[in-house]
Amino acid sequence: MQLMRMLIDSLKQQLVDFLSAASGIDTLHASDIMLPPSPDKGDFAFPCFVLGKALRKAPVLIAKEIAEKILTGGHRMIESVAAESGYVNFTLAPGYVAQKLFETFQEEGVHFGQSNKCSAKKVMIEYSQPNTHKEFHVGHLRGTLIGDTLVRLHRAESCWTLAANYINDFGTHVAKCLWALKKLHPYDTPPRGEEGAWLGKVYVEGAAAAENDPNAKSEMAAVLRALEARDPEWFPLFLETREWSLQGFRKIYDELGVHFDDWFYESDIKDEGKEIVVELLERGIARKSEGAIIVDLTQYGLDIFLILKSDGSGLYSTSDLALAREKFRRYEVDEAVVITDVRQSFYFKQLFKTLELAGFNKTLKHVGYEFVRLPEGAMASRLGRVVLFEDVYESVVKCARQETRSRHADWSDMAVEQVARAVGLGALKFELLRHDPGKVLVFDAKKAVSFQGFTGPYVQYTVARIKSIFRKAGLPLEFPFVSGDADASSLVLSVEKKLMLAIAQFPNMVADAREQCDPSLLCRYVYETAHLFAEFYEQCHVVGAQEPLRITRLMLCSHVALVLTQGLALLGIEVAEEM
């Protein structure tokens, strides 16, 4: 499964071999080969500045001499080579690229894009982490989708990967909700099937009371202590209402196609967290400060880390100390990754340093993402100013339904609805994943569902378009399509070669997205590849071309469809047969 990843690297290595022979320098690497600043300069470029000191010549002169030597070599993979401003620019022969591409696809088949690069590694990825007794909004959704994609990317490179969810079911927010439930809604029952959403509204009432009434805030603190003590007055209510939230979460995950291998609950580990706090105190790692227990991390530039309140109740940090231990106790993983919003980055630095001081020598990693804003401003659960997943999902499906109906007036309602849901969910996922995780995302549902531009529907439609081409050609919709009648040398156009080189980059892009924990790299890749296909299809006849060009271009189209389908699948997005 390594062949396709090696295609781009092997092309670069061949260029390095030519450069080494021409320059007499044998210390060059494939990583020295780069993309030129502009496509009209060639397919690859080599900066001769790295050779200036060794050859004691100006880079401009070195580039000229190397280009002349390589030109006389008659290498069939090279269409042209030119020296410009200290760079050697290479233009590859389209037929050569096509031959290597087709050979690799014939070998890889549907496993294209996969590798065994991480087969020796075991990783746990913890993500989503919704709070019970609150509503699941698009802010939670961003972290959920990033985590789900990273799980898929790790598994694509044969990494043993466990998807974990950590449910924040204990804490001040629960106390606020249960207090409001008893004080403000003692005889009310939630609408059937909407229990979780109803709890979220009750929480907002409790949060408002906590801000405006000191007595209410004090009573909520007492509720929290009672919960941690498993008080029979409060704990059964906690368990019942927690299940209301969990039912809603499971329904959302099912709709998203997100699956977890294990679930951790804060309520299960908080007691152990308090025991760890006592242990840290006894070992002198932590100390008391005004009744609370802290870890002084100022010498590491990490300020004071609060791990237990002065009234004896726990914090997120109390539980997270135990969670880290529980993860490695339950599973023998090499690394535990946790994905939360970026505002918790400093907190996790404090947590990891505290664990390190305690002798916990496991590999821990935090991946942060920025929060989601509405066009009118930031969301806030305590104020009730959030956009719920269900509302966003239905809004994008509605737009997709209207678009599908306008394109296919003859379709049945069932067919329209099936496509609308696939397109709508794909649009929602793509919009939340296509942005750099480190940047604030302003969510706009109308832009997300557009069939034009950098959107999920645009990429999905490209696959549907290729399937339509295959129907017109009378060929089965099985990708990759391989034919012994194809002639790689018939592909001679620059637009064809650009598309082939883009396809060949897919395994590298999968690796880059995984290594950088950035699904937006993959989103950008599938969009740009779809755009290149649009350019190709505009300039090149496919079904109407003469043989063997017709069958060869159909093979190329099938490889594009496979790349886009596989890329979208890694993003958790399905493609429709027709759109």
Average pLDDT on 353-365 reads 97
CA distance 573 to 566: 9
Average pLDDT on 248-274 reads 95
pLDDT digits (tens, 9 = 90+) for 153-208: 999 999 999 999 999 998 899 999 999 999 999 999 999 988 988 999 999 999 99
Token representation of residue 185: 């809604």
| Residue 480 DSSP symbol | S
Backbone angles phi, psi at 398, to 5 degrees: -60, -45
Q: In this structure, are residues 30 and 16 in contact, taking their beta carbons and an 8 Å threshold? A: yes
Average pLDDT on 366-383 reads 72
Token representation of residue 270: 């908080």
pLDDT attached to residue 447: 86
Judged on CB neighbours under 10 Å (0-12, 13-18, 19+), 385 is middle
Q: Percent of the chain having pLDDT more than 70? A: 97
Is the model's pLDDT at 117 over the cut of 90?
Answer: no
Average pLDDT on 347-366 reads 97
pLDDT confidence band for 516 (50 / 70 / 90): very high
pLDDT attached to residue 171: 86
In angstroms and rounded to an integer, the radius of gyration of the C-alpha atoms of the chain is 28
pLDDT attached to residue 37: 84
Average pLDDT on 119-142 reads 92
Q: In this structure, are residues 356 and 384 in contact, taking their beta carbons and an 8 Å threshold? A: no
Minimum mean pLDDT range among 85-94, 227-236, 341-350, 393-402: 393-402
Average pLDDT score over the chain: 92
Average pLDDT on 454-469 reads 96
pLDDT digits (tens, 9 = 90+) for 134-150: 988 888 899 999 999 99
Average pLDDT on 10-26 reads 93
pLDDT digits (tens, 9 = 90+) for 291-334: 999 999 999 999 999 999 999 988 999 999 999 999 999 999 99
pLDDT confidence band for 376 (50 / 70 / 90): low
Judged on CB neighbours under 10 Å (0-12, 13-18, 19+), 483 is middle
**Dihedral over alpha carbons 215, 218, 220, 225 (to 10 degrees):** -150
pLDDT attached to residue 181: 95
Q: In this structure, are residues 204 and 131 in contact, taking their beta carbons and an 8 Å threshold? A: no
Is the model's pLDDT at 382 over the cut of 60?
Answer: no
DSSP β-ladder status, 441-442 and 372-374: parallel
Token representation of residue 554: 């159909």
Q: Which residue has the higher pLDDT, 140 or 127?
A: 127
pLDDT digits (tens, 9 = 90+) for 82-116: 999 999 999 999 999 999 999 988 888 888 888 88
pLDDT attached to residue 2: 46
- Angle between helix axes 549-570 and 138-156 (nearest 10 degrees) is 120
pLDDT attached to residue 385: 60
Of 500, 503, 523, which Cα lies nearest the Cα of 435?
Answer: 523
DSSP secondary structure, 311-328, as one string:
TS---HHHHHHHHHHHHH
Which of helix, strand or coil describes residue 133? coil
Residue carrying structure tokens 């039912």: 247
Is the model's pLDDT at 383 over the cut of 70?
Answer: no
Average pLDDT on 121-128 reads 97
pLDDT confidence band for 351 (50 / 70 / 90): very high
pLDDT attached to residue 321: 97
Of 13, 41, 8, which Cα lies nearest the Cα of 28?
Answer: 13
pLDDT digits (tens, 9 = 90+) for 403-435: 889 989 999 999 999 999 999 999 999 999 999
* Domains, in order of start, for the chain: 3-92 (3.30.1360.70), 127-265+331-383 (no CATH), 389-570 (1.10.730.10)
CA distance 230 to 428: 40
> The whole model's pTM is what?
0.91
Is the model's pLDDT at 253 over the cut of 60?
Answer: yes
pLDDT digits (tens, 9 = 90+) for 523-557: 999 999 999 999 999 999 999 999 999 999 999 99
Largest CA distance in the chain: 90
Average pLDDT on 368-375 reads 84
Average pLDDT on 343-352 reads 97
Average pLDDT on 38-51 reads 93
CB atoms within 10 A of CB 132: 27
CA distance 133 to 203: 7
pLDDT confidence band for 224 (50 / 70 / 90): very high
Q: Which residue has the higher pLDDT, 478 or 231?
A: 231
pLDDT confidence band for 3 (50 / 70 / 90): very low
CA distance 79 to 151: 41
Q: In this structure, are residues 522 and 567 in contact, taking their beta carbons and an 8 Å threshold? A: yes
In 199-352, DSSP assigns E strands to 262-265, 287-289, 292-296, 304-308, 335-341
